[in-house]
Amino acid sequence: MCIVLAVLAGLGAAAAVTSAGDRVKVLAIARDVPAGQAITDADLRVAEVSADGALTPMRASQRASVIGRRPAVDLRTGGLLTASQLGAGTGLGDDLQQVGVQVKRGQAPAGTLAPGDKVLAVTTPGQGEQTGSKTDAPPSSVKGTVVAVSRPDASGSVVVNLAVSPTDGPLLATRASLGRIALVREPRSN
């Protein structure tokens, strides 16, 4: 009986070692990639994980097809890359129009806007327009999603590319050309 138990234990241990050796090479995230930013080769690394039907990471052999794609969600360092994280095109609405809005200091939250952020582009008063009377209507605004944010220039101005509804694109572009836009970042969901 002891010999039979010893043989069964040995076979069980051998099976466990064999199954642990079934590893596959998959793509992992080497550094944070914000939603909408193109994935570069430096953003990826190869990891080995045990084969598991519950996990669906992209295989390392798919690396070339991933480079240049844009994730629909923020990718965090150390995570495994899955196909569902990659959106078509920019991942931020290729069916939407994109409008570049130049904002000066004080017209957007300093340093907090990132691709994927939801914002309100609020119309600011024109030069010489009065505000503050009780009959003022609330300012008009356009909902958008940040696609990209430029580096600040010497004066602190940045250009924020926003994805907006096709019905709002021309209106926002007109207001932006007049410098009459301030951006309000919506709360980020947790």
Per-residue pLDDT in tens (0 to 9) along the chain, 190 residues: 778 777 777 777 766 665 555 788 889 999 998 877 788 999 999 988 877 777 788 888 998 888 888 887 778 899 888 888 876 544 455 578 888 899 888 888 877 788 788 899 998 876 665 555 544 556 788 898 888 888 888 888 888 888 888 888 898 898 888 888 889 988 876 5
Calculate the CA 181 to chain-centre distance.
24
- Sequence-distant (6+) residues with CB within 8 A of 20 are 50
Full-prediction pTM beyond 0.85?
no
Distance of CA 173 to the CA centre of its chain: 24
Which residues of 19-103 form beta strands (DSSP E)? 23-29, 44-50, 97-103
- Go through 61-87 and write b for each residue having 16 or more CB atoms within 10 A of its CB, e for each that does not: eebeebeebbbbebbeeebbbeeebbb
- What one-letter code names the amino acid at 57? P
